[in-house]
Amino acid sequence: MEQFKNNVKKRIDYLGMEIAWMLREHGKTVVGEVSVKQLLGGMRGLTALVCNTSYVDPYRGLFISDYAIPEFEDKLPEEIFYLLCAGKFPNETELAELQEELAFRAELPDYLWTFIRQLPRHLHPMTMFSLCVLALEGESVFKQKYEAGELGKSEYWEYMLEDAVSLLAKLPALAAAIYRIHLLREEPMDYHPSLDWGSNLAHMLGVNPELSFAELVRLYMVLHCDHEGGNVSAFTSRVVNSALSNLYYATSAGLNGLAGPLHGLANQVCLRFIRGIHERFGESPGTDQLDAFVREELDAGRVIPGYGHAVLRVTDPRFTAFMEFGNRHCPNSPFLQTVKKLYYVVPNILKTYKEGKVANPYPNVDAISGTLLYQFGISHFDFYTVMFGISRTFGFCAQSIIALGLNQPIIRPKSVTNKWLMDALERAE
């Protein structure tokens, strides 16, 4: 893994030089302002973080480093992790080295198998997943080195990288064990060292032997891997890690944020929405029926799940990538057909609804991702958030590695009271 570390260090050194220059030459330059609406509205749209792993352009979608989705959607999850950390895709030798390292570290410790089997069956799979990641915390090399007083600040990122590779290596076996033992009530499948990381996850889930399912899992992992630093799960994970809590703590925390219905749970909500349409109109609803149904939902004060986005102002390119996959592999799926019809109907309604006040009337990735998982045999809705969490862990890890490599401090923004704000507004008049 030495070449991987060398490439990550090169990126950290380059970013560090940029930061040093900006602080030296422009440390007091104002680059933005904050409104009362942002203070009281969850900091929505407030520029207050630097994230060097990914960013979201309102009109072009997700970028990993400088690569847009069409440039990386065909890559393996291992390649995406390399890109997140090193800012470049691995060459053939570098990829093989990382894959060998992941395979070497993939085995779950015996105590974790015991822990998984003893988990209460009534727990949500995401709760199980978060608990199991937390249960691995004792494996942290960073923690062991830090507590032994063997780490200098300049070495923090190296041992975060060690922990990241170990954690990511274990996620296919861990997640698949939860799915098979607690949801399917079946025994786990063996890990295959000859398969790549994503293919192993697909194989170990054991729900669909088709190569297209492995392709869907690969695509799902790639498209959900990271999404800037300000989303709930990434921000939570980064805040926890900024206190030098190790990656197991930080990942578990990020997963807990991802579990909310306004974040990672949204794909389940979207699929339930489509199933509700099928229950009412059958599996081939007409566009007129969908138009009336959508307006009925909006008039009742309910949102249309899967539509709108905090940053994007166009159709989410991740949605487009999944749609292209569906058109290739399951074009006749009733669920996919309904997704397509909603794509035709919903934006036109939202553009004019309530005088066109919807900032983004177009679909996001949640509008289709759960539909494809269901089509290919993942029939337990509660597991969809785990799939999201497996992928987003790549981003959690990479963001923490880069941040610690740059010696970024503990995250501690200032908060104020209503009275402070009222007084400030009076003084401003």
Indicate whether 350 pLDDT > 90. yes
- Range with lowest mean pLDDT among 242-256, 295-309, 347-361, 405-419: 347-361
pLDDT at residue 1, rounded to an integer: 85
Per-residue pLDDT at 218 exceeds 90: yes
* Under 8 Å between Cβ of 379 and 184: no
pTM here is: 0.95
Average pLDDT for 210-223: 97
Quick one: average pLDDT of 225-251? 97
Residue 355: what pLDDT?
A: 64
pLDDT, position 116? 98
Span 397-422, mean pLDDT? Answer: 95
State yes or no: is 380 an active-site residue. Answer: no
Residue 183 is given by DSSP the state I
Smallest Cα–Cα separation from 83: which of 70, 102, 67, 69? 67
The whole-number average pLDDT for the span 393-407 is 98
Q: What is the pLDDT of residue 356?
A: 62
Q: What is the pLDDT of residues 94-143, one digit of tens each?
A: 999 999 999 999 999 999 999 999 999 999 999 999 999 999 999 999 99
Catalytic residue list contains 224:
no
Catalytic residue of the set 182, 224, 309, 329: 309
What pLDDT, on a 0 to 100 scale, did the predictor assign at position 357?
66
Contacts of residue 260, Cβ cutoff 8 Å, sequence gap at least 6: 232
Q: Tell me how many helices (H) and strands (E) the chain has.
A: 20, 3
How far is 392 from 306, CA to CA, in rounded Å?
19
263, 278, 291, 380: the active-site residue: 263
Domain spans, the chain: 267-375
Residue-averaged pLDDT of the chain: 95
pLDDT per residue as tens digits for the range 152-201: 999 999 999 999 999 999 999 999 999 999 999 999 999 998 999 999 99
- Reported as a single tens digit per residue, the pLDDT across 24-40 is 999 999 988 999 999 89
When mean pLDDT is compared across 58-72, 221-235, 299-313, the lowest value belongs to 299-313
pLDDT in tens, 279-336: 999 999 999 999 999 999 999 999 999 998 888 899 999 999 999 999 999 999 999 9
Name the residue among 11, 81, 406 with its Cα closest to residue 238. Answer: 406
Question: Residue 358 above 80 pLDDT?
Answer: no
Q: Superfamily assignment of 267-375 in CATH?
A: Cytochrome P450-Terp, domain 2 (1.10.230.10)
What pLDDT was estimated at residue 353? 83
For residue 429, what pLDDT is reported? 78
